[in-house]
Amino acid sequence: MSMDIFDQIFDNNKAWVKAQREKDPHFFQSLSEGQNPEILYIGCSDSRVTAEEMTGVLPGQMFVHRNVANLVPNNDNNSAAVIEYAIAHLKVKHVVVCGHYYCGGIKSAMQSMDLGILNPWLRNIRDVYRFHKTELNAIADEDNRYKRLVELNVKEQCINVIKMAVWQKHYLQTGFPKIHGLVFDVRSGELIDLHFDFQREALAIREIYDLGTQKKSRN
Ligand code: CO
């Protein structure tokens, strides 16, 4: 008789608690005293992309936000609140936007389908396609075109972080947090750094998106 996966999680949890306590008897006591994560991770909700496991971080080291296709849309209170809290209060040193190849959200966005409440969400990805239409349409192989869209979507979401006052203010004052665009390759398990040049991008779009936070902070 095979056990339901839901029932297994409690047994898994008990075993995990035991193992953590054996390694460090004060482990949970320390966690209860607060968190001091240096990384904010924004990734896809996809069950195959396990933020903490694939990066090897420990509890307390990474603040995590996940949604369909790792988006940072304008007017999305959820991701905005996470980013505000991570930068202004937790004072993270790094913001990571992590996409992944074979992303169902990216694939769905490129199909002619009415997906209800997902339409406005996935339209953010259609917008990314439109910005980069010339480059994407020139890629003949469909798989490679989707993969490139995954990468370009990560870059656009990194740029969306740059557009936020909380990032501009803290980066201009302290030089942190740095912004990183990553892609997880589900097929190989590898994490790829896209080497997103956030400083260059910030300068390039500054004339449009500068919110004057530096001036305000000097008052
Ligand atoms: Co995905």
DSSP string, 136-172: HHT--SHHHHHHHHHHHHHHHHHHHHHTSHHHHHHHH
| Residue 12: inside a domain | no
pLDDT of residue 14: 97
pLDDT of residue 105: 96
Average confidence score pLDDT of the chain: 95
| Residue 23: inside a domain | no
Q: How many angstroms is it from 107 CA to the middle of ligand 1?
A: 9
Residue 2: pLDDT band with limits 50, 70, 90: low
Q: How many angstroms is it from 183 CA to the middle of ligand 1?
A: 11
| Residue 75: inside a domain | yes
Residue 121 predicted with pLDDT over 70? yes
Q: Quote the CA–CA distance of 44 and 54 in Å, as a whole number.
A: 13
Distance set, CA 128 to CA 21, 27, 39, 146, 156 (Å) = 46, 43, 25, 12, 7
Residue 10 predicted with pLDDT over 70? yes
Q: How many angstroms is it from 70 CA to the middle of ligand 1?
A: 7
Q: What is the CATH number of the domain that holds 118?
A: 3.40.1050.10
pLDDT of residue 208: 94
pLDDT of residue 61: 97
Q: How many angstroms is it from 210 CA to the middle of ligand 1?
A: 31
Report the pLDDT averaged over residues 53-68: 97
Going by C-alpha positions, the residue among 88, 65, 51, 218 that lies closest to residue 164 is 88
Q: How many angstroms is it from 154 CA to the middle of ligand 1?
A: 11
Q: How many angstroms is it from 49 CA to the middle of ligand 1?
A: 8
124: phi then psi, degrees, rounded to nearest 5 = -60, -35
Q: What percent of the chain has pLDDT over 90?
A: 94
pTM attached to this predicted model: 0.94
Report the pLDDT averaged over residues 140-144: 96
Regarding beta strands 39-44 and 191-193, do their DSSP bridges make them parallel or antiparallel, or are they unpaired?
Answer: unpaired
Residue 219 predicted with pLDDT over 50? no
Report, as residue numbers or ranges, the catalytic residues: 44, 46, 48, 100, 103
Residue 22 predicted with pLDDT over 90? yes
Alpha helices in the chain (DSSP H): 5-23, 27-32, 51-55, 77-84, 104-109, 118-131, 133-137, 142-162, 165-174, 198-209, 213-217
| Residue 144: inside a domain | yes
Q: What percent of the chain has pLDDT over 70?
A: 97
pLDDT of residue 19: 97
| Residue 29: inside a domain | no
User: Based on the structure, what is the number of domains in the chain?
Assistant: 1
Q: Quote the CA–CA distance of 209 and 202 in Å, as a whole number.
A: 9
Q: Quote the CA–CA distance of 203 and 68 in Å, as a whole number.
A: 29
pLDDT of residue 214: 76
Residue 1: pLDDT band with limits 50, 70, 90: low
| Residue 111: inside a domain | yes
Distance set, CA 86 to CA 93, 108, 176 (Å) = 9, 30, 12
Residue 218 predicted with pLDDT over 70? no
pLDDT of residue 180: 98
| Residue 4: inside a domain | no
| Residue 16: inside a domain | no
Q: How many angstroms is it from 131 CA to the middle of ligand 1?
A: 20
Q: How many angstroms is it from 105 CA to the middle of ligand 1?
A: 5
Tens digits of residue pLDDT in 143-187: 999 999 999 999 999 999 999 999 999 999 999 999 999 999 999
- In contact, 181 and 194? CB cutoff 8 Å: yes
Domain that holds residue 187: 35-214
